[in-house]
Amino acid sequence: MSAAHRRANRRGRLLAAVLAAVVASGAAYVGIHLRATSAAASAPRQASLAAHAPTARRRRQAPRPTATTSLRVVSTTPADGAGGIGGTAPISVTFSSQLASGSTRPSIVPSVPGTWRTVGGTTMTFTPQVPFIPESQVTMTIPAGRSGVRARDGATLAKAVVVDFGIEDGSTLRLQQLLSLLDYSPLAWNAAGNPIPATDSLGQLRAAYVPPPGTFSWRQSGWPTELTSLWTPGKYTTFTRGLVMSFQADHGLDVTGVPDAGLWNDMLTSLAEGVVNTGGYNFALADKVPPQTLTIWHDGHVVLHTAANTGIPQSPTPSGTFPVYARYRYYTMHGKNPDGTPYSDPVQYVAYFYDGDAVHYFPRAAYGIPQSLGCVELPLAEAAVAWPYLAYGTLVRVVN
């Protein structure tokens, strides 16, 4: 079932619950009204005659007590627009008047199991039993009118109140653990003790905030120090960002490198369903010392080592580590030369890694010296070999 269908089903269940509450409330009102009518019809004739007396007439025509002011929401926790809320933090609403017993509760989307209770007569509090997915956007709707929240004196809200807030991100360490378990990382992760079953949804959600202990180890020994030195467990570095981008690309998510609810949801779903990466892990190293080269590793083994061109002094290739963020089989690059003249160059096997700089094929008489405007240029045959390994999220490290 798709995420859209799951969200639709959750909304459907929530709507059904609200409608059921409205129907139940309406039925109770009708029942009271009918009983009152029946009692009046069966009263003795003397009472009916007495009703014609002036004082009795005045009592019968007197209006029923009604609320003189509308019910108001005094405060909510979290407040509207708040972010970084704990996955199991209580959610509460404080009203201006004492609440009627059995009053309608606010609705929360996405819905999670939990319990509502009234505290001090004026505050409704919801305590989740299951954590919200990290980075979720939660909407609480406090209903108005006769079918909404009701005070003891019969007062109701004049209009519904909607409160939106965001759940905090999960643990970076757990993110790294999941990416390892899903085979997106060149490091394996092993739990200390009994691992959480992949299908234990509640256990996996809790672990997103409180990761279990365990150890990481490199799957292969052939990785260069230029890669291994980038790894830091528990820190969201470029290394981890590249892994996230790889997962996002494979699962049809926006390739941003930024964790969100969709990322967490799809990772936990993939873990439960046993869907893992089968493409291995790639790493590219561009060396600017002449003769300039590009080397690519796949699963710890060198699959390409070729002469390459990097940027001229007026437009150098930046040193650093960058994940591939865009790819094109054919592309036309536009820009300006250092002298200000425009260029429009057709290129092939393009993998952008920094701003407007990419690894790609470009025809040159020779390779291995600075000739580009910041890109890493390759011969045609070598570019064709490199391109499949320069997938989304692949780290390109430029040194020297």
In tens, the pLDDT along 224-248 reads 999 999 999 999 999 999 999 999 9
In tens, the pLDDT along 21-41 reads 333 333 332 232 223 333 333
Nearest to 341 by CA among 373, 303, 299, 366: 373
Fold of 282-399: L,D-transpeptidase catalytic domain-like (2.40.440)
Nearest to 161 by CA among 184, 188, 186, 140: 140
Q: Which residue has the higher pLDDT, 61 or 319?
A: 319
Would you call 51 helix, strand, or coil by DSSP? coil
> Residue 196 above 90 pLDDT?
yes
Domain boundaries, the chain: 3-30+70-166, 172-273, 282-399
In which element (H, E) is residue 208 found? helix 201-209
What's the CATH class of domain 3-30+70-166? Answer: mainly beta
pLDDT of residue 69: 66
Q: What Rg, from alpha-carbon coordinates, does the chain have? A: 32
- Which backbone phi and psi does 5 adopt, to 5 degrees? -65, -40
> Residue 4 above 70 pLDDT?
no
Per CATH, 3-30+70-166 and 282-399 having the same topology is answered no
Q: What DSSP letter does each residue of 27-46 carry, written as one string?
A: HHHHHHHHHHHHHHHTS-HH
Place of tokens 């014609």: 52
Joined together, the tokens standing for residue 283 give 């790493």
pLDDT of residue 70: 87
Overall average pLDDT of the 367-372 stretch: 97
Place of tokens 């429009």: 344
Which of the four pLDDT bands, split at 50, 70 and 90, describes residue 18? very low
Which of the four pLDDT bands, split at 50, 70 and 90, describes residue 20? very low
In tens, the pLDDT along 284-343 reads 999 999 999 999 999 999 999 999 999 999 999 999 999 999 999 999 999 999 999 999
> Of all residues in the chain, what percent carry a pLDDT higher than 90?
82
pLDDT of residue 66: 52
